[in-house]
C-alpha cells in the first residue's frame, strides 16, 4: 500500500479538499464524495443570528471524513491561536490547518507569525498543518518545531495559476521529513498531477473544484490526476534532457550510405 | 433575558451541537452550556464552522 501518513494516521487519498465557495451544502457533499478525499477543511466564523441558515457541518459525514479546521481570517499568531482553541472546542478535533494571512490582496502567509503560532500550538497538543509560502528554510523551521506537515502554496489562494513556486517546492520536498502538502493555487487537475509527479505527498484543492461549472466532475478529474501523478512519481520518471535521444534503433536504416 | 447560555441559544433558535461559545474571551465547553449563567454586560461570541479552504 502507498498510503499517506500524517501524524501517525493513514489515509488512502492524497487529495485534501476545502469546503468554501460551493453553491450549496449538497453540491459540496457530492463533490467531496466524488473526489474520494478523507480530509476536508472548514473555517470558523461568527454565527449570523439574523440569517440562521442550514448548518454545512451536517452535510459532512464526520465518521468518514476528518475535519480539518483552519484559522483563516487570522492576521497574527494570537488570533490564530484563539481560532485554534475555538475550533478544538467546537469539533473536539486537535488537527488544525494553521494559516496567518495579514495581506488582504495576495493572502500570502506571514512566516514569522505562522512559526510563532505553530510553536505555541504544538506545545498545546495540536496537530499542526501550516500553510506557508514555498520557503524551504521556513519549512525546516516548522518541521523542527513539531508540525505534522508543511503546506507550501503553489500560487496565491484561489488564483488557479498552478505551480508557480515549483523550484522552491522541489527543495522543500527534498529536505522534508514530514509530508509536504501542496496547497493553494492549483487550478487544474494537471497542476495537481505536476505537484504529485515531483514528489509532493498530497495536495489541497478548493476553488478549482468548488467554482467549476460541474464541481462533481471536476472533483473526479482531480482524483484521477492525483493518482496518476503519484503513480508516475513512484515509477521513477525519466530525466529531462536538452538534446534529442532516439527512441527507435539507430541501425538498420533502409538507405544506402 | 434568558438565564443560561443554552436558554439564550434556544431563544435565538440556534442549534447548540455545532456551536462554540466564548464569554468574555473564555471558551465555554458545550457540555456546560446549560449550567453557564449569563449576565448583562458580558460579551458573548457565537461561532460555527463554515465552508473554507
pLDDT in tens, chain A (257 residues): 799 999 999 999 999 999 999 988 899 999 999 999 999 999 998 888 776 666 777 788 888 999 999 999 999 999 999 999 989 988 888 999 999 999 989 999 999 999 999 999 999 999 999 999 999 999 999 999 999 999 999 999 999 999 999 999 999 999 999 999 999 999 999 999 999 999 999 999 999 999 999 999 999 999 999 999 999 999 999 998 999 988 998 888 888 87
Q: Which of A26, A97, A123, A227 is catalytic?
A: A97
Give the pTM: 0.90
β strands within A23-170, DSSP E: 39-46, 66-69, 95-98, 127-132, 151-152
**Residue A257: inside a domain, yes or no?**
no
For residue A97, indicate whether it is catalytic.
yes
**Residue A251: inside a domain, yes or no?**
no
Query: B53 contacts in A (CB within 8 Å)?
Result: 18-21, 41, 43, 70, 72, 157-158, 184, 204, 206-207
ipTM: 0.86
Cα–Cα distance, A107 to A134 (Å, whole number): 14
**Residue A249: inside a domain, yes or no?**
no
In sequence order, what are the residues at sequence separation of 6 or more whose Cβ sits closer than 8 angstroms to the Cβ of residue A131? A70, A97, A98, A99, A101, A109, A114, A151, A153, A183, A184
**Residue A173: inside a domain, yes or no?**
yes
Cα–Cα distance, A117 to A127 (Å, whole number): 12
Give the count of beta carbons closer than 10 Å to the beta carbon of residue A2. 9
- Give the confidence band of B16 by pLDDT, cuts at 50, 70, 90: low
Domain, as residue range, for A25: 4-234
CATH number for A47: 3.20.20.70
Length of chain A (residues):
257
The residue of chain B nearest to residue A58, with distances taken between CA atoms, is B18
**Residue A240: inside a domain, yes or no?**
no
**Residue A10: inside a domain, yes or no?**
yes
Cα A94 to chain centroid distance, Å, stands at 18
The cell for B46 is 457565537
**Residue A252: inside a domain, yes or no?**
no
In sequence order, what are the residues at sequence separation of 6 or more whose Cβ sits closer than 8 angstroms to the Cβ of residue A23? A215
| Beta bridge partner(s), residue A205 | A17
Half-sphere exposure of A126 (CA within 13 A, CB side): 32
Substitution target in B23, B25, B51 with the highest count of A β-carbons within 10 Å is B51
**Residue A177: inside a domain, yes or no?**
yes
Q: Which helix (H) or strand (E) holds A203?
A: strand A202-205
Number of independent structural domains in chain A: 1
Half-sphere exposure of A18 (CA within 13 A, CB side): 27
Per-residue model confidence (pLDDT) at position A56? 76
Substitution target in A58, A68, A90, A109 with the highest count of B β-carbons within 10 Å is A90
**Which of A43, A91, A158 is opposite residue B50, by nearest beta carbon?**
A43
Is residue B15 over pLDDT 80?
no
Amino acid at each position: 500500500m502507498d498510503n499517506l501518513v500524517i501524524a501517525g494516521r493513514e489515509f488512502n487519498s492524497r487529495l485534501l479538499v476545502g469546503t468554501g465557495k460551493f453553491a450549496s451544502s449538497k453540491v459540496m457533499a457530492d463533490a467531496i464524495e466524488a473526489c474520494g478525499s478523507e480530509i476536508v477543511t472548514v473555517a470558523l466564523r461568527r454565527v449570523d443570528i439574523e440569517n440562521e441558515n442550514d448548518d454545512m457541518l451536517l452535510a459532512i459525514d464526520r465518521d468518514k471524513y476528518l475535519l480539518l479546521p483552519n484559522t483563516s481570517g487570522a492576521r497574527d499568531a494570537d488570533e490564530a491561536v484563539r481560532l485554534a482553541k475555538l475550533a478544538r472546542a467546537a469539533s473536539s478535533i486537535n488537527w488544525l490547518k494553521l494559516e496567518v494571512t495579514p495581506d488582504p490582496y495576495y493572502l500570502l502567509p506571514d512566516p514569522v507569525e505562522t512559526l510563532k503560532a505553530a510553536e505555541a500550538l504544538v506545545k498545546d497538543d495540536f496537530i499542526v498543518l501550516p500553510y506557508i509560502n514555498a520557503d524551504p528554510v521556513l519549512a525546516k523551521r516548522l518541521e523542527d518545531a513539531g508540525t505534522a506537515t508543511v503546506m507550501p502554496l503553489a500560487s496565491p489562494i484561489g488564483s488557479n495559476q498552478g505551480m508557480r513556486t515549483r523550484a522552491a517546492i522541489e527543495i522543500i520536498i527534498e529536505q522534508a521529513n514530514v509530508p509536504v502538502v501542496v496547497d493553494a493555487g492549483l487550478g487544474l487537475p494537471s497542476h495537481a498531477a505536476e505537484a504529485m509527479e515531483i514528489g509532493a505527498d498530497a495536495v489541497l484543492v478548493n476553488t478549482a473544484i468548488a467554482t467549476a461549472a460541474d464541481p462533481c466532475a471536476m472533483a473526479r478529474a482531480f482524483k484521477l490526476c492525483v493518482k496518476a501523478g503519484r503513480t508516475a512519481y513512484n515509477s521513477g520518471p525519466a530525466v529531462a534532457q536538452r538534446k534529442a535521444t532516439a527512441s527507435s534503433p539507430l541501425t538498420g536504416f533502409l538507405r544506402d550510405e | 433575558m434568558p438565564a443560561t447560555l443554552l436558554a439564550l441559544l434556544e431563544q435565538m433558535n440556534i442549534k447548540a451541537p455545532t456551536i462554540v461559545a466564548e464569554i468574555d474571551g473564555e471558551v465555554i465547553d458545550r457540555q456546560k452550556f446549560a449550567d453557564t449563567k449569563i449576565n448583562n454586560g458580558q460579551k458573548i461570541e457565537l461561532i460555527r464552522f463554515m465552508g473554507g479552504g
